Amino acid sequence: MSHQHAKDVSMLDPQVSSDPFDFYALLHQQSPVYQLPETGHYVVTKYADVRRVLKDHASFSNNVKLADRAPFADLHQSILRDGGGWEHVQTLQRTDPPQHSRYRRLLDRVFTNTRVREMIPYMDEVVNDLIDGFIDNGRCEFNDDFAMRMPGIIIAEQLGLQRGEVATFKRWADAMLGVSYSPIASEDEIRANAQTELEAQIFFAEVFADRKARPQDDLISAMINAYGDDDEPLSMHELQNVMRQLINGGFETTQSAINHGMWALIRMPEVAAKLRADSSLIKPFVEEVLRWESPVQFLMRQATKDVEIAGTLIPAGGLLMVGFGPANRDEEKFGCPHQFDAERKNVGAHMAFGSGPHFCPGSLLARQELRRSFRHIVARMDNIRLAQPLPTPVHRFSLFFLPMHDFHIAFDKR
C-alpha cells in the first residue's frame, strides 16, 4: 500500500469503503484534503482540520444544499402533506447558529447526565432480557438479536412505543433514513417510504398531544415540555423533524458501535478476558471502539465562501465530507492509530461524536448503552467466536457509515 497513490484508489469501491483505513493513511500522507474525482466532494481527513471545520460554522455550513436534488424529493413531501402529515423542514442538524442554538437548548435539557444515569437499571434489564433470549442456544445472529434491538427498544420506548413494537419502529426508522433523498431510488420506493413515514408521523403527533396533557417519565415528555423561558415552543413541523433526527441519529449509529465492539472482542479474545477481570476497563474499551471504527465516518458541510484548508482551496458552495473516522486514525493525534489499544491514554479526545455546536446530544445515552451492553456480555458469555465467516466486504456499502451485515456468533454460557 505504501507505494500506492491515493488517485489509484477509489472510495466508491465497496472493498475500500468497507475497510477504508489504508486509504485514509494514504490521504494523510499525500493529500489531507482530497477532492474525490468521482463526485467533486472535498474529503477532510486530518484531526486538526476536521476540528477546525466543525467549529467554524460561519465558513462551513450545515445547511447543505445539494445541486442534484433527488428526483422524487418533492413527491415525498407532497405525500406527507396530502396524507395529513408534516413536510420536512430544516431543523437542528441542518441549521447553523443562531437558529441551531434554539433547537440545541431544548435537546440539552432533555439528554442530561442525571436522566441518563437514572436509566441505567432499565438499560440493564433490556440488555439482560435480550441475552436471556439466546444465551441457552450458545449462538445468535448478533446484529438483529442484540445490536439493533438494544438501542431500538430503548429509543422506541422513550418515544412512546411498547417493547413488542420494536419491529414497527425499525420499519419507521428504515423509511426515515431510507431513500427519500436518494438519487437512485425508484418512484415506487419513494411512495412506499413516504407512506411509512406518514404512519410514524401520525403516531408521534398523537403521542405529542398525549404527553403534553399527561407528561410521563420519558424523553418524549421531557422534549415536549422542555421549553426555556426565552424560546418559542417548537411547532409540530419542527417537532416531527427533530423526532426524525433523533431516530436517524441515534439508532443505526449505536447499533454499529455495538456490532463493532463485539467484533473487536472476537478478534481480540485477550481484551475480552481483561474486561471480564476488571470492569473498570469497559469504559475506555467503549471509547476505543468508537475511535477505531467510528460509526459515523463522514458527514457533510458546505463552504459559504472561498476557504483554504491545508493548502487546498475550497470554493464557495463546495461540498465537504468531514472525516470523523479518518481524524480518529490520525497518527499526529493518536500514537499507532491503527492499533486497537483498550487502555489508550488520550482516547477521550476522539471525535466519533463530533465537536463544536453540533456535538452529538445523544452521546451520554449512547455511551451508557454501550457500557451496560458490554458489561453484561462479557459477564455472561465466554469464548465468543464467529459461527460463520463474515462476508466480504464486511460492511454494506456506504460512504458515510460502517453498517455491518448479519453477524452469526457462537459462545459458551458462563
Binding site residues, ligand HEM, CB under 6 A? 54, 62, 92-93, 104, 155, 245-246, 249-250, 253-254, 257, 295-296, 299, 324, 352-354, 358, 360-362, 365-366
CA-CA distances (angstroms) from residue 114 to 109, 118, 189, 220, 401? 11, 6, 41, 16, 30
Shortest reach from residue 215's CB to ligand HEM, in Å: 19
Shortest reach from residue 251's CB to ligand HEM, in Å: 8
What is d(CA 341, CA 343) in angstroms, rounded to the nearest whole number?
5
- What residues form DSSP beta bridges with 35? 42
Shortest reach from residue 91's CB to ligand HEM, in Å: 9
Shortest reach from residue 66's CB to ligand HEM, in Å: 15
Q: Which is nearer to ligand HEM, 254 or 373 (CB)?
A: 254
Q: Which is nearer to ligand HEM, 195 or 363 (CB)?
A: 363
State the residue number with the nearest CB to ligand HEM: 362
229: its cell numbers: 423561558
Shortest reach from residue 104's CB to ligand HEM, in Å: 5
Residue 384, amino acid: I
Q: Which is nearer to ligand HEM, 323 or 337 (CB)?
A: 323
Q: Which is nearer to ligand HEM, 33 or 50 (CB)?
A: 50
Q: Which is nearer to ligand HEM, 10 or 90 (CB)?
A: 90
Half-sphere exposure of 387 (CA within 13 A, CB side): 14
**DSSP string over 340-361:** --TT-TTGGG--TT--GGG--T
197: its cell numbers: 413515514
Are the beta carbons of 158 and 220 closer than 8 angstroms?
yes
Beta strands, E only, 87-211: 139-141
Write out the H or E segment, with its range, that includes residue 66.
Answer: none
Shortest reach from residue 253's CB to ligand HEM, in Å: 4
State the Cα angle at 69 between 68 and 75, rounded to 5°.
150
Q: Which is nearer to ligand HEM, 26 or 318 (CB)?
A: 318
Positive or negative, the Cα torsion across 116, 118, 124, 127? negative
Shortest reach from residue 381's CB to ligand HEM, in Å: 21
Q: How many residues does the chain have?
A: 414
Q: Which is nearer to ligand HEM, 44 or 190 (CB)?
A: 44
